[in-house]
Every structure is written in structure tokens, then in C-alpha cells.
Amino acid sequence: MQFLANKVCVVTGAARGIGRQIALTLAEQGGSVVINYNASRDAADALGDELQQKGVQSLVVQANVSQMGDAKKLIDAAVEKFSKLDVLVNNAGITRDGLLAIMKPEDWQAVIDTNLSSVFYTTKFASKAMLRNKFGRIINISSVVGLMGNAGQANYAASKAGIIGFTKSVAREFAQRNITANVICPGFIDTDMTRQLNEAQVNAAQAQIPMKRFGSPLDVSNLVAYLASDLAGYVTGQTIAVDGGMSMA
Ligand code: NAP
């Protein structure tokens, strides 16, 4: 049984890493997938081809979601192709790490624009289509860093904590309209983002994780698929960590 048959799903930053696996998992569950990318055109096209070969309807859309006009272009393209939008997964994200004393304002702004303002833009535009459709699932990818903070990531932590407050507000606004909004906080997941860490950093990270290992993109995408499905119709405004126990109180 597929849990997302006939559902139209937009995934931001879907060419690589966690976003790519989210696109694949939603497709396996019967969803049609709009693959957004910013710079990774070849990877996005390859994913689109892979889905097409599997008989999955997909659309590849270039959009820098930190820009409001591009975010609108993405949502408009999805609705134009599929005539509706059921699931929005805000996954696109960047890091520009640095200790606060030397953090450049442009690195603060780039992270806020890409990780947080993008979520405002896409959700704002997508919610119109969801209200028309009388159904919606908004799933925002934050981070355990948004819950716990992290030295050297004040910009990233602020953006990811902002996603949590934003999502709870959206969940309350749309609670009576059959639109849910939830947050997933991954811990350390094996992608390009964590492959930047050196051996000492990996060892220090693993020491903080009760399961003593990094997670996989599939660990995250499985929860996305659940939250996107009808099974999760009474789950809204929640923040759920996928982190091997790292952030538990
Ligand atoms: P990644 O491998 O570095 O991939 C980042 C993705 O975001 C890429 O697909 C990239 O697309 C996209 N992106 C960046 N800026 C964008 C923009 N302006 N517009 C559209 N897309 C943009 O990262 P990841 O590990 O898969 O992370 C995915 C999400 O999970 C992020 O929000 C990240 O903060 C979060 N997260 C990751 C971890 C982890 O351990 N990996 C932990 C917690 C949270 P292009 O390549 O096309 O530019």
C-alpha cells in the first residue's frame, strides 16, 4: 500500500542530501514530486530522470528559495503543472559557521534568508493552494541545533529555532482547515553538510549521540512520509527530532 497516492509534493533543495532522499521516499509512497534545486542542476535533472523511469510524475524547478520571487515561481510552477499542491517540504538549508565575535553580517543574513525567510515565502504561497484544496501538509526541516544551540552556529541556530516558532504559528492558523504543519529536527545525518567535519569533530559529535552513530537521509525521509500521509492527520504543531537520542531532555 502506498500512503501518498495522488499527492503532489514540493521538496526544496531536493537535488542532494536529505532532500533527495525525501523526494525518493515520497515518490515510493505514490506521490508526484516537484524537485527544486538552486545550483545542482545536473543532480536535479538526474533525479527527475530516475523518477520518470520509475513511472513517477515529476517536475524539476530551479529556484533560489531565499528570494521571494523565486519561491513564488516554484509554487506557481507546481500548481500550474499539477493543478494542486498537497505537501510542502521545506528542506533547503546552508551553514556559514563562525564564532560570534568574527561572524560577518553577510554570513548571518545569508543563513537567515536561505533557511528561514525561504520557509516564510514558500509556505505563504503554498498555503493559498492548500486552502483551495482543503488539504495540506507542511513539513519544515529544522535541526537539533535549533533546539540546543551550538557554538559557532549562532546564525544557523537562530534560523532553525525561528522555523519552530514559525511552524507552530502556521499550525495554529490552519488547524481548522485540514492543513497541518510540523517540524523535523535532524541530528547528525550523513550528507555533504556533515562530510565537511574533520575526524576530531566527527568523534566529538558521535560522543554526544546516545546511539553513537550518524543517521541516514532515509531516517529523516521516513518521518516526512508519515507526516505527509493521512496517518498523521491529527498531528500538528509538533517538533520531532531524528537524532539517535542526542537532544532528549
Ligand atoms: P546538503 O547536502 O548541504 O544540501 C543542501 C540542499 O539545500 C541542497 O540540495 C541545496 O541545493 C539546497 N539549497 C541550499 N540553498 C538553497 C537555495 N537558496 N534555494 C534552493 N535550494 C537551496 O544538506 P543536507 O544535509 O541534505 O541538509 C538538508 C536540510 O537538513 C538543511 O535544511 C539542513 O540544515 C538540515 N539538517 C541537516 C543535518 C545534517 O546533519 N546533514 C542536520 C540537521 C539539519 P543546490 O545544491 O541545488 O544549491
> What's the pLDDT tens digit per position in 44-77?
999 999 999 999 999 999 999 999 999 999 999 9
Q: In what order do the strands lie in the sheet with 179-186?
A: 58-62, 32-37, 8-11, 87-90, 136-141, 179-186, 239-242
C-alpha 179 – ligand 1 centre gap (Å):
25
- Asked whether 221 lines ligand 1 (CB < 6 A), one says no
pTM value is: 0.99
Given the residues 37, 156, 226, 234, the one annotated as active site: 156
Residue 220 identity: V
- Asked whether 114 lines ligand 1 (CB < 6 A), one says yes
Give the other-Cβ count within 10 Å of 243's Cβ.
Answer: 26
pLDDT at 35 (0 to 100): 99
Structure-derived torsion over alpha carbons of residues 112, 117, 122, 124, reported in degrees to the nearest 10: 160
Is 156 considered catalytic here? yes
Strands (DSSP E) contained in 8-157 are 8-11, 32-37, 58-62, 87-90, 136-141
What is the spatial distance between Cα 110 and Cα 33, in angstroms, rounded to a whole number?
27
pLDDT at 16 (0 to 100): 98
pLDDT at 30 (0 to 100): 98
Secondary structure of residue 93 in the 3-state scheme: coil
- Asked whether 191 lines ligand 1 (CB < 6 A), one says yes
- Asked whether 182 lines ligand 1 (CB < 6 A), one says no
Ligand 1 atom, smallest distance to 114 CA: 18
pLDDT at 26 (0 to 100): 98
Write the DSSP symbol of residue 116. I
C-alpha 80 – ligand 1 centre gap (Å):
26
Write the DSSP symbol of residue 215. B
Q: What is the pLDDT of residues 143-193, one digit of tens each?
A: 999 999 999 999 999 999 999 999 999 999 999 999 999 999 999 999 999
- Asked whether 20 lines ligand 1 (CB < 6 A), one says no
Mean pLDDT value across the chain: 98
C-alpha 64 – ligand 1 centre gap (Å):
12
pLDDT over 90 percentage in the chain: 100
